[in-house]
């Protein structure tokens, strides 16, 4: 399963990645990162088209599950949750299990 975890600069993202052994995990962040870190550049959550940009990224990378760790990221994606569901992409909220 292909999994995207946002907020790649956080320790929480790396802890979650270690818990998802067996899955293909992609770390992403909208912050500028050095290329050697191999972190996918994500759109900024403040963008008006954030959900659509994220959906496009998920479809391009065949993502099946998104863990949006940033509050603004998760809030924006939750609003478009039905759209993600229609494309078979599950949005996970680890803060409110």
- For residue 10, the domain's CATH number is 3.40.50.20
Contact 64, 1 (CB under 8 A): yes
The pTM (predicted TM-score) of the whole model is 0.91
Domain count across the chain: 1
The full DSSP string for the chain is -EEEES-TTSHHHHHHHHH-TTSEEEEEESS---GGG--EEPPPTTSTTHHHHHHHHHHHTT--EEE--SHHHHHHHHHTHHHHHHTT-EEE-STT-
Residue 97 belongs to some domain of the structure: no
* Interval 4-58: pLDDT, tens: 999 998 999 999 999 998 889 999 999 988 787 889 999 999 999 999 999 999 9
Residue 71 belongs to some domain of the structure: yes
């Amino acid at each position: 399963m292909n999994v995207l975890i946002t907020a790649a600069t956080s320790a929480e993202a790396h802890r979650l990645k270690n818990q998802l052994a067996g899955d293909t995990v992609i770390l992403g962040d909208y912050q500028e990162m050095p290329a050697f870190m191999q972190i996918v550049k994500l759109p900024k959550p403040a963008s008006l088209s954030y959900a659509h940009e994220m959906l496009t990224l998920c479809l391009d990378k065949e993502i099946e599950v998104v863990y949006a760790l940033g509050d603004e990221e998760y809030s924006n994606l939750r609003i478009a949750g039905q759209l993600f569901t229609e494309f078979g992409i599950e949005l996970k909220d680890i803060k409110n299990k």
